[in-house]
Structures are given as C-alpha cells and as structure tokens.
Amino acid sequence: MVFMSTKVETERKKKYHSGGTPNKGIPITPTNPRPLEGWAKSKKIRPRNLETNAFIKNNAENRDAMGYLMNRKIKWFGIEPTPFIDEAREYAEQNNRARLEEAIKKDIENSLNF
C-alpha cells in the first residue's frame, strides 16, 4: 500500500532529517510578537555575556536581544530534528513482535480464504 509518491516521501524525509527549512525562522504574529521570549522565560533560559559567559541582567532589552539572536540562528541553520518517532516505533516493534507476526499471519490467512 503506497500512501504517497516516492518523490513526495523523499522530500518529506529530507525535510524531517535536515531539521526543517532554513530561512524561515519563528513566525511572528500580531498576537505573539515575541514568541521566543515567552518560550525562554518558561524554560528559565537567561541571557549571558558571550565574552565572559556570565549571566547578565534579565531585563526586557536583553531578553529581546536574546530572542532576536535565537530567531536569527533558527533562520540560518533550522531546528535540529529529534528522532523520537523512530525510537518509539523501534521500541514498539521489539516489544510486540510476536503479536505483530500473529496479526499478519491472520490477515494473510483471511485474505487467502476470501
């Protein structure tokens, strides 16, 4: 059973494994003009001085600059992918191999008896 053409599937896999499309960045909307600032605040990420690696004052100006730099990096390099789907699939296959084999066997028998 083929769900999508091989060209579309190949492009989708390339995009998934490359970390998304560069040159896009985080979308900025009128309702959320600084999306990375809220994310950084919820993750408790604080701005640092790049020369001394010391924390600097966590004020609006520094958070805004940090959000700008994070968005610029995402625009240039994209977001690194996390292969959590592959890991979950492999885990499910390993733990349910006998049940999968039995279900496939029943499907084949039912299709031959039909």
Residue 65 CA to residue 85 CA, distance in Å, equals 34
- The Cα 68–Cα 70 span in angstroms is 6
pTM for this model (two decimals): 0.52
List, for residues 36-88, the tens digit of each pLDDT value. Answer: 888 888 899 999 888 899 999 989 898 888 888 888 888 888 888 888 888 88
pLDDT for residue 19 is more than 70: no
Q: Domain spans of the chain?
A: 22-80, 81-114
Report the C-alpha gap between 13 and 39 in whole angstroms. Answer: 27
| pLDDT over threshold 70, residue 13 | no
Tens of pLDDT, residues 20-39 = 555 677 777 777 778 888 88
